[in-house]
Amino acid sequence: MSDPSIWVLEYARSPAHPVSAVFYGAHNQGTMNLPFSYVLIKSGDVVALVDVGYDESDFGGTIAESIGVTHYTPPQQVLGECGVSPDQITHIFVTHGHFDHIGGLRFFKNAKVFIQKKELESWMWILAKGRRYRTLAAGLNPADVLHLAEINLEGRLTLVDGVLENAVPGIDLYPAFNTHTAGCQYVVVRSDKGGKLVLSGDVIYTYKNLDGGDPSDPSLVPPGLANGSQTALIECADEMLEHVDGNHRQIIPMHEERLGELFPSRTTSYGLKVVEVLLSANEQSRVEFWY
Ligand SMILES: [Zn+2]
């Protein structure tokens, strides 16, 4: 893949999210707006998503309501902003099993789904441990695990075991084990025009996780929510920075509110952002007014 287009599509938001969930150790620092997004990648015949949001009509919607998520908008409408329908999605790279990243899979009947084998195994293990372990199951909709089994029986599931280069041409998957969740992965897109771009999943929520809010004396501050290790989160963030020679702007955190300022963007009629990270020579802009 040498000339992809990439958009970050906001599909909901958490307007009063605890700052301590986004930055480890940030106790008593109030709340912040946290956008919920997935990423659309188009290149040639490939129409891929990194994560898929959730389904408001099932238990994912209940979890979302319990943590104050608003503005939920279904994929038909969100992807429609880029002229794509859910049936056209060919590949889905799931960074991890939290409801807001995996719960929307049922909208995409034709897509091949890629998730780390370790992520699926770890959720099965957590569920098998029973209610006393439910702290580790926070953010999981158990029905999403069942749905992966259905997708598997349909022949659409790939259980990735570590690094997978060229999952489709130009897109690599990297494990982020023992970080935000046990079997997380992140996605690297290689392009001629935009260089390497890292789609971080929840290993990095925002750019502040990369510099601690002080670019002149940066420190890696992991997210507050982790089933794995804070040390592993810091080391994985450092690995992402190595992919992009330390250039923060080549890392795309899906919960980052400032993406709309750093890249061309527009706000939809329903109040959510479309962010154009990279535009192929063959593709029309989806953020310009004239399109
Ligand atoms: Zn998560």
Each residue's pLDDT tens digit, 92-129: 999 999 999 999 999 999 999 999 999 999 999 999 99
| CB-proximal residues (5 Å) to ion ligand 1 | 98, 202
Give start and end residues of each alpha helix (H) in the chain: 19-22, 59-66, 75-80, 99-102, 117-128, 142-153, 208-211, 230-243, 259-262
Confidence (pLDDT) at 2: 76
Structure tokens at 100: 């807001």
Span from the CA of 282 to the centroid of ligand 1 (angstroms): 34
Exposure class string for 163-195: b at 16+ Cβ within 10 A, else e = ebeebbebbbbbbbbbbbbbbbbbbbbbbeebe
How many whole angstroms from 288 Cα to the centroid of ligand 1?
31
Q: Could you tell me the distance, in angstroms and rounded to a whole number, from the CA of residue 27 to the centre of ligand 1? A: 19
Digit-coded pLDDT (tens) for 12-42: 999 999 999 999 999 999 999 999 999 999 9
CA of 181 to the centre of ligand 1 (A): 7
What is the 169 CA–ligand 1 centroid distance (Å)?
Answer: 27
Distance from the alpha carbon of residue 249 to the mean position of ligand 1, in angstroms: 21
pLDDT of residue 1: 53
CA of 202 from ligand 1 middle (Å) equals: 5
Mean predicted confidence (pLDDT) in 256-283: 95
| pLDDT at site 290 | 47
- Residue 11's pLDDT is 98
From CA 291, how far away is CA 289, in angstroms rounded? 6
**pLDDT interval class at 289 (50, 70, 90):** low
CATH number of 5-278: 3.60.15.10
> Tell me: the pLDDT tens digits for 38-61?
999 999 899 999 999 999 999 999
Q: What pLDDT, on a 0 to 100 scale, did the predictor assign at position 134?
A: 96
**What value does the mean pLDDT of the chain take?**
96
Find the 44 Cα to ligand 1 centroid distance in Å: 30
Distance between Cα 79 and ligand 1 center (Å): 21
How many whole angstroms from 245 Cα to the centroid of ligand 1?
Answer: 26
